[in-house]
Amino acid sequence: MSEQKYGLAWSEEFELGCPQIDAQHKRLFELVNNLVKACTEGYDRKILNETLDFLVNYTVEHFKDEEEFQLRYNYPGYARHKQLHEDFKVIVGEKVQEFRETGSTIDLSNCVNKVVVQWLIHHIQREDKKIGNHVRRLELDDNDYGTLKVSISRNK
């Protein structure tokens, strides 16, 4: 993230090892950066609103997919994780509402850079990574079981 003062730069440290989720996180980074660019370069208000809506809608869809993914793999931290998503949606909803009322692109870009970027970095590195670790543990258990079955059949 060093070369970039604002927004988000993708790097390996954000990878969970779950391709579907990693791809969505990468796309989220792009959309955040598009919004930062739209704010700082003074894009037309219509484009700004569309960029903002697109990011918000994509985030909601991504959370839904990520939660389904957790259920599919019986992730034990599902309820807490879902709550973190819900809390973030409330924060973003309030900020979007503020923007609709005031129209301040400075406030919006500050919010994206301070609140959204920080939340995403922290959330992916601390919380989403736990999902990746959980899935890897399951796969490891499966492999152990497979090895066990092989060694049992060999002993017959």
Q: Which residues are near Fe ion by CB under 5 A?
A: 66, 128
- Measured CA to CA, the distance from residue 122 to residue 113 in angstroms comes to 13
Give residues with Cβ within 8 angstroms of 52, minimum separation 6. Answer: 35, 96, 99, 108
Instruction: Give least dist CB 101 to Fe ion, A.
Output: 29
Least Å from the CB of residue 107 to Fe ion: 26
If the CB atoms of residues 63 and 99 are measured against Fe ion, the closer one turns out to be: 63
Nearer to Fe ion, 18 or 48 (CB): 18
The minimum distance between CB 102 and Fe ion, in angstroms, equals: 29
Nearer to Fe ion (CB atom), residue 117 or residue 128: 128
CA–CA dist 127, 87 (Å, integer): 14
One-letter amino acid of 121: I
